[in-house]
Structure 1
Amino acid sequence: MTSQPLLLRHHRPFVAFWFARIFTASAFQMLTVAIGWNLYQLTGNVMDLGWVGLIEFAPRLLFMLHTGHVADRYDRRRVAALCQSLQAMIALILAISSASDHITREMIFILAFVLGAARSFEMPATQALLPSIVPVELFPRAVAAAQAAQQSATIVAPAFGGLLYAFGSVWVYGPSVALYLIAALLMSTLPARQLPLNKGKATLDSLLAGIRFIRSRPDVLGAISLDLFAVLLGGATALLPVFAKDILLTGPWGLGMLRSAPAVGALLMSLWLARFPVERKVGRVMFTAVGLFGVATIAFGLSTSFWFSMAVLVVLGAADMISMVIRASFVQLETPDEMRGRVSAVNGLFIGASNQLGEFESGATAHWLGTVPAVVLGGVGTLVVTGLWIKLFPGLANRDRMVEEHKTL
């Protein structure tokens, strides 16, 4: 079988794509650490951390139908590069504002919305690019390898961002600008699409095609909706600044370590899946992974030890990676190239809801019930959803192979 290193050596476009993912993920993770700590220092209000997640998610909901159409109609390389350049401008504005001591809560909220909009258009274009630059038989491995790149950056960048923040937030925002620009340059070097682009106008029927397609595939619908509700309830990343400062009694460096911990587990699991992809009993494996995610969330909420919290976050990240790789393979391999952008946009909405909207849910619940009860209750909710989805989607739960019916794209 082709291993991950062989994939990287013999597919030059994928190598450029792989490094672009590293730089984009690094820049975003550094921004996340800086914005979260910066905002909590400014206001001391845990609810503001939840609002940032909601504000960043809002563009995905507002522009969902159009982001997919753009990815299917225009050059996906240029769409992705343009979005990364816009994110570089956002980081530059934050750097200048921080250096001049003019950064405010309202400014952070506005820039979070623009950042969310840029990422909303970038995600479907980037996701739809991958199947066109690697052979079908290598696609599940490519998904895992691409995630390994992203998780590698997610491990290093938050900790590095936390260390740099000790010298001032501008030291985090500044390097993010360069990383985004490098990613945009690499993305622009990818080969143009060989298949014709969708040149049709953005009618309501074409915009809704992605939603109809997902509804027609019960396994895909079950997989992405499971991620939506399970991670939405179990997501606790928005509360990491509170855990770091008030419960685990650490500082920006500790916050960076906590944000990196899930990525350590995700990286190790993605490397394993790139070498040994899930080939049998994929439904059972995915549901088990989501259940483990819920258990790890509960353990993290109850922990008062920094190192135990780090350990359960590693487990949480590994479990989430299994679910993500299976879900991503479902979506991309069952979708024709001419509508991958629209389907990826809908999938991106589910991913965004489970992450950014989950951050708002965690912040709001923590505001009402307290930080620890909010996280524990979310983990319990994840377990309940897992059991319910097994009943609602028995075909997915009993699915044996991931791509057994997909010989062509």
Structure 2
Amino acid sequence: MTTPAASPDAFAALRFADFRRLLVSSASASFAGTAFSVVIGYQVYALTKSPLILGLLGVATALPTLSLALLGGHYADRLDRRRILLVTRALLVLSGLAFAGLSLAGPATSVTGLFLLVVLMGFARGFGDPASSAFETRIVPARVYVNASAWLGSVGQVAGILGPVLAGLFLTRFEASGTYMLMATLYATSWFALRRMPRIPPVMTVSEEGMRESIQGGLRFVRKDPVLFGSMALDLLAVLFGGAVALLPVFASDILKVSPSGLGMLMAAPSVGALLVMLWMTRKPPLHRTGVWLVLSIAGFGLAMLVFGVSRTFWLSWTALAFSGVFDGVNMLIRRAIVRTRTPDHMRGRVGSVSLVFIGTSNEIGALESGVAAHYLGVVRATALGGLITLAIAGGAAWRWRDLMAWELRHEQAYHSDTSGVDST
């Protein structure tokens, strides 16, 4: 008689002290980021009353981050990743203090000044995010990569749910300046947690190739790996056509006829679904037929958005959005596992930066695509059509990307021998 396999340890990554510190740092930074998204949008709209300026704010937020991501990936593979994060998180603390000081002027606050600070924050994030995405693989062994990703993803989803609520409370009580001080405090907490962690130098001596060759090497590495490239491209296409977050205010106001609090519930629904599935996957990671689950999650996301698009009742719409978060959470965790397990450590920064560009492009251009499609087709038809296109993308991926469909996480984990000697005390 064979002995049943033991259930995966849901707290495996948390047994490593440095990962616990990383989790505190990541949670603090995530809460700071979501608080910033709420306060800057509220403040800019209160000062300008212009939806166009709000749109430009999104561009000002995204373009600096995306423009420096590949460069940040280059240096993340050549310098101490912890030091990069300490410097960039310190810049984010200073940015929060600068926002707070500028906002003391109240209604006379300079919108131009706010935009300049947004751009500076974007540069800091663009340079630091690749180092952050390549961090946890050096402090936990390969066998708990998925568990670590699930915990990091979970705190991100908690921040997505509670961060806007916390920011709203601070805005009401302390106005914009006080909320920026909260953001600076959270980034400072993240900095101190990182300060207690060990240095993360490059794992090996890299070649003397130039910066351009180094960045191109990261791009080539992703393009030549059908599983890595397929997972990133699949996510980009699904969010580009299936995402409808930018249209939620229109659905809340004109179709579902709910109050601003109802809009808040709709916006939180995907994070609720993603959080639940990520917590579940700390115990039940998708080890078998992982590529199939990835493609099915894209199909499920498209179906959920199709239901949301045609729904006329609030709770059906909320449930559809929550399920879209469930499927997106599965997609996110598997995609992270692919990046972690198929990338050598000396290229993690560059590959992580390529992934960040894919994600940022899908989010920003996806919001633009949603707005243009809604303008010409109407929000209902545009959202339903996006869901159908996403279903077609999943079907095409199942037919075209056979290597991705055949990929199984259990084989990847078996390949990686645990020789890191990571201390769990």
TM-score, with normalisation over the residues of structure 1? 0.90
CA gap of 1:402–1:239, structure 2 versus 1, over 3 A, is farther
- The answer to whether the Cα contact below 8 Å between 1:50 and 1:359 also exists between their aligned partners in 2 is no
Matched, 1:354 2:362: yes
Matched, 1:269 2:296: no
- The answer to whether the Cα contact below 8 Å between 1:258 and 1:313 also exists between their aligned partners in 2 is yes
Q: 1:406 aligns to what?
A: 415
Cα drift, residue 301 of structure 1: 3.3
Tell me which of 120, 144, 148 is aligned to 2:150: 144
Tell me which of 177, 184, 187 is aligned to 2:184: 177
What per-residue deviation string (whole Å, max 9, x for no partner) do you get for residues 356-388 of structure 1? 332233344445544444433332332222222
Q: More displaced, 352-361 or 32-41? A: 32-41
Matched, 1:161 2:170: no
Distance in 2, matches of 1:94 and 1:310, equals 34
Cα drift, residue 50 of structure 1: 4.0
Q: 2:239 aligns to what?
A: 231
Cα drift, residue 115 of structure 1: 3.0
Tell me which of 66, 71, 94 is aligned to 2:71: 66
Q: More displaced, 40-49 or 10-19? A: 40-49
Matches within 5 A, 1:47-66: 47-66=52-71
Matched, 1:91 2:87: no
- Matched to 1:150, the amino acid is G
Q: More displaced, 231-240 or 196-205? A: 196-205
CA gap of 1:226–1:278, structure 2 versus 1, over 3 A, is same
Cα drift, residue 397 of structure 1: 2.1
Distance in 1, matches of 2:397 and 2:133, equals 26
What per-residue deviation string (whole Å, max 9, x for no partner) do you get for residues 124-146 of structure 1? 10111111000111111111111
Q: 1:192 aligns to what?
A: 199
Cα drift, residue 291 of structure 1: 1.3
Q: 2:10 aligns to what?
A: 4
Matched, 1:284 2:292: yes
Tell me which of 309, 322, 337 is aligned to 1:329: 337
Tell me, which stretches of 5 or more residues in structure 1 are unaligned? none
Matched, 1:22 2:37: no
- Matched to 2:134, the amino acid is A
Matched, 1:75 2:80: yes
- Matched to 1:180, the amino acid is Y
Q: More displaced, 147-156 or 103-112? A: 103-112
Instruction: Point out 4+ residue stretches in structure 1 off by more than 6 angstroms.
Output: none
Number of aligned pairs?
408
Q: More displaced, 93-102 or 379-388? A: 93-102
Cα drift, residue 6 of structure 1: 4.3
CA gap of 1:74–1:348, structure 2 versus 1, over 3 A, is same
Tell me, which stretches of 5 or more residues in structure 2 are unaligned? 1-6, 419-425
- Matched to 1:407, the amino acid is H
Q: 2:139 aligns to what?
A: 133
- Matched to 1:395, the amino acid is D
Matched, 1:383 2:406: no
Distance in 1, matches of 2:253 and 2:104, equals 24
Please identify the structure whose Cα radius of gyration is greater.
2
Q: More displaced, 287-296 or 269-278? A: 287-296
Q: More displaced, 330-339 or 394-403? A: 394-403
CA gap of 1:319–1:284, structure 2 versus 1, over 3 A, is same
Distance in 1, matches of 2:33 and 2:235, equals 22
What per-residue deviation string (whole Å, max 9, x for no partner) do you get for residues 23-81 of structure 1? 11111111112233334444555454444333333224422331111111121112122
- The answer to whether the Cα contact below 8 Å between 1:131 and 1:332 also exists between their aligned partners in 2 is yes
Distance in 2, matches of 1:243 and 1:98, equals 32
Secondary structure at the counterpart of residue 4 of structure 1: coil
Secondary structure at the counterpart of residue 11 of structure 2: helix
- The answer to whether the Cα contact below 8 Å between 1:162 and 1:253 also exists between their aligned partners in 2 is no
- The answer to whether the Cα contact below 8 Å between 1:50 and 1:364 also exists between their aligned partners in 2 is no
Matched, 1:122 2:131: no
Q: More displaced, 135-144 or 111-120? A: 111-120
- Matched to 1:34, the amino acid is V
CA gap of 1:81–1:371, structure 2 versus 1, over 3 A, is farther
Secondary structure at the counterpart of residue 316 of structure 1: helix
> What percent identity do the matched residue pairs reach?
35
- The answer to whether the Cα contact below 8 Å between 1:154 and 1:260 also exists between their aligned partners in 2 is yes
Secondary structure at the counterpart of residue 415 of structure 2: coil
- Matched to 2:162, the amino acid is V
CA gap of 1:107–1:226, structure 2 versus 1, over 3 A, is farther
- Matched to 1:67, the amino acid is G
Matched, 1:257 2:262: no
Matched, 1:222 2:230: yes
Secondary structure at the counterpart of residue 186 of structure 2: helix
Q: 1:397 aligns to what?
A: 405
What per-residue deviation string (whole Å, max 9, x for no partner) do you get for residues 219-252 of structure 1? 1110011001111222222333444455555555
- The answer to whether the Cα contact below 8 Å between 1:280 and 1:402 also exists between their aligned partners in 2 is yes
Cα drift, residue 396 of structure 1: 1.1
What per-residue deviation string (whole Å, max 9, x for no partner) do you get for residues 152-183 of structure 1? 22221122223433343334333111111111
What per-residue deviation string (whole Å, max 9, x for no partner) do you get for residues 234-282 of structure 1? 2222333444455555555444433322111111111111111101111
